Amino acid sequence: MDLIPESFHFLRPLWLGAILPAALLVGLAFRREKNGSSWRALVDAHLLKHLVIDGGHGRHRWPLYLAAITWLATAVALAGPTWDKISIPGEIGRNPTVIALDMSGSMDRTDLSPSRLARARYEIFDLLAANADQQNGLIVYAEEPFVAVPLTEDIQVIEEMVPLLATDLMPGASSRPDRAIAAAADLLAQTETGTGRIILLSDRGEAKPAELRAAERARDQGFRVSAIGFGEEDGGLRAIAAAGGGSFVQTRVDSQDIDTVLVDPVTYGFGEQDTQLTLEVWNDAGIWLVFVPLLFAPLAFRRGWLIALLLGISLAAPDRAEASLWDDLWASRDEQGAVAFEEERKAQAAELFDAADWRAASLYGAGDFEAAAEGYAALEGDENLYNRANALARQGDLETALATYEDVLASQPEHEDATFNRDLVKSILEEQQQE
C-alpha cells in the first residue's frame, strides 16, 4: 500500500514558496549559533569557552523550532494538500417541470384561432413565465417522443425554440402520450428530486390503457401528470390527468389554466423540494494543519513574541488585498467556479473554471455561444460534440451545426436529441433557401 496516493497534489502550490523564508530564518539562526560571537576570530577555541558565558542554547532554541513548525504548517495548509474528491451541492430548482407538446397532425386544426398548435405555443410561453425560477424541459411528440430541450434553468433556450415547432417535423401520424410521459419521467428521474411535474399539451380525445398505465407509473415515481386540452373532446386527457394524480383544464385566454396545472396539491405529496446540482471538487485537507499553529499559540503569547508575530503575518488577511486573490488562497478555481455557476453568475464562472467542460458549459449558459463552441471543440466525446453542435446552432452557424449533428449521429445513431435538433436545423435551412 502506497503511503502517498497517486492523486496527491496541492490546490494552491504557489504557497509552498512561503516555506523558503522559514528555512532561511532557521538556517541563519543556526549559522549564527555555530559561528559564535566575534571573539571566535580573536581567541583560540580552547580559551573561548572560559571567556564566553553559555547562554543556554538548548533552552533558547525552542521558540525558533516552534516558529519554523508553525510557519511550515501554515504554508502547507494554505497550499491545500488534497488526494480525494467531494461533491458540492447547490440548489437548482425546487420542482422541475417537463412540458410535453403533442405535435401530431390534428394539432394543425384551426377550430382554435389561429390553430391548436399556435395556441399551445402561447401556453408554453405562459408556463415558462410562471415557472421561470425552476427547472423546465420540453418534449415534443407524435408517434415517438423527442427531448427538444433537457431540464434547464434558462427558459430562453426553450422560448427561442418554440416558434420553430411544426407538425411536419415529427415522423408518424399518430399521437402516443404514453411514450411522451415515459420520456418525461426519465428526464425527471435524473434530477434526484423525487418530485416533478409533467404537463401534456394535447388534443387527445380518448385515453388508451397504455396511456393510463404510463400516467400511473409516473405518479408512483413521484411525478404529477397534468394536461391542458386543445380539442373538442376532453375525456381522454381528463382520465390521464386523474391517473397521474394531476389536474386537467381546457386552454383558456386567461391564466387560470396555467395556475391549475402548476398548483401542487399536498394530497399527493408533491410539495416543493430542493434539488441539488453536484460538482465534484478536490477536498482541501489543509484545514487540519491549521490546528498546528493554534496548538502553539498559547506558548507564543506566554514567552515567544516572535511566534505571535509569525502567526499574525501568516494567518491574518491583508486589509487591501484584492478579493479574487484572497479567494485563490482558500479555494481552488473550480471550487470558486462551482459557486458562481450555482448562483447563476455564468460569465464569472467561465472565467474561474479550470475544468474545460465546466468552463464551456458556463460560456454556453452565459450566452457566449461562439466561445462555448470553441471550448467544446477542444474536448473529446460524443456529448461534447453534441453540445458543440448546439452552441453552433445558437450562434447562427446552422450549416456547421448540421454537419456536427451528423457526426454525432454517425457515432450514436440512437441519439434522439441530436436527431431532433438535426431535423430542426435542416428544416430552418430549407426555409431560408426557399426565401
**Dist CA 413 CA 2 (whole Å):** 44
d(CA 394, CA 373): 10
What is d(CA 241, CA 268) in angstroms, rounded to the nearest whole number? Answer: 13
Please name the CATH architecture into which domain 332-434 falls. Answer: Alpha Horseshoe (1.25)
- Please, are residues 73 and 293 in contact by the beta-carbon 8 Å criterion? yes
Q: So what's the pLDDT on residue 323?
A: 39
On whether the CB atoms of residues 423 and 169 are closer than 8 A, the answer is yes
- Please provide the distance, in angstroms rounded to a whole number, between the alpha carbons at the two ends of the chain: 70
Helices (H), ranges, 36-115:
45-51, 57-79
- Residue 91: the pLDDT is 43
Please, are residues 420 and 428 in contact by the beta-carbon 8 Å criterion?
Answer: no
Instruction: Determine the residue type at 133.
Output: D
* Cβ contact 250:125 at 8 Å: no
Q: Are 174 and 142 in contact (CB under 8 A)?
A: yes
- The residues of the chain that CATH labels 1.25.40.10 are 332-434
Question: Cβ contacts of residue 151 below 8 Å, gap of 6+?
Answer: 93, 96, 98, 135, 136, 137, 187, 188, 190, 191
Q: Is 328 helix (H, G, I), strand (E, B) or coil?
A: helix
Cell numbers at 330, concatenated: 482558500
What is the spatial distance between Cα 205 and Cα 355, in angstroms, rounded to a whole number?
Answer: 50
* pLDDT at residue 326 in the model: 42
Q: Which residues contact 367 (CB under 8 A, 6 or more apart)?
A: none
**pLDDT the model gives residue 88:** 54
Residues in the chain: 435
Q: How much is the pLDDT for 64? A: 65
Alpha helices in 203-318 (DSSP H): 209-221, 235-243, 256-262, 291-302, 305-315
310 near 325, Cβ under 8 Å?
no
CA angle 235, 240, 245 (to 5 degrees): 125
Q: What is the pLDDT of residue 324?
A: 46
pLDDT at 237: 93
Residue with cell 487540519: 288
Residues 338 and 277: beta-carbon distance below 8 Å? no
What's the pTM? Answer: 0.46
Q: Which residues contact 232 (CB under 8 A, 6 or more apart)?
A: 111, 205
Distances from the Cα of 243 to the Cα of 104, 173, 180, 215, angstroms: 23, 25, 15, 6
CA separation (Å) from 161 to 139, 148, 178, 243, 385?
12, 8, 23, 30, 20
**Are 225 and 241 within 8 A, CB to CB?**
yes
Q: Say which DSSP state 282 is in.
A: E
Specify the long-range contacts of residues 395-400, CB closer than 8 Å, at least 24 apart.
395/369, 395/370, 397/373, 398/425, 398/428, 398/429, 398/432, 399/429
Predicted pLDDT of residue 74 = 79
Burial of 397 (0-12, 13-18, 19+ CB in 10 A): middle
Per-residue pLDDT of the chain in tens (435 residues, 90 and over written 9):
456 677 788 778 887 888 887 777 767 766 665 555 444 554 455 444 544 444 444 445 566 667 777 778 778 878 878 877 766 554 444 579 999 999 999 999 988 888 999 999 999 999 999 888 889 999 999 999 999 899 988 899 899 889 888 888 887 778 999 999 999 999 998 886 668 999 999 998 888 999 999 999 999 998 999 999 998 877 889 999 999 999 999 998 878 888 889 875 433 333 344 444 455 566 777 777 766 666 655 555 454 444 444 444 344 333 333 334 444 444 567 777 777 777 778 888 888 888 888 888 889 888 888 999 999 999 888 888 999 998 898 888 889 999 999 999 998 888 888 888 888 888 888 877 776
Cα(435)–Cα(430) distance, integer angstroms: 9
Residue type, 30: F
Q: Rg of the Cα trace of the chain?
A: 33
| pLDDT score of 418 | 85
Cβ atoms of 357 and 384 closer than 8 Å: yes
* CATH 3.40.50.410 domain position(s) in the chain: 93-268
CATH number for the domain running over 93-268: 3.40.50.410
pLDDT of residue 198: 96
- Candidates 101, 133, 134, 104; CA nearest to 119 is 101
What is residue 435's predicted lDDT score, i.e. its pLDDT?
Answer: 60
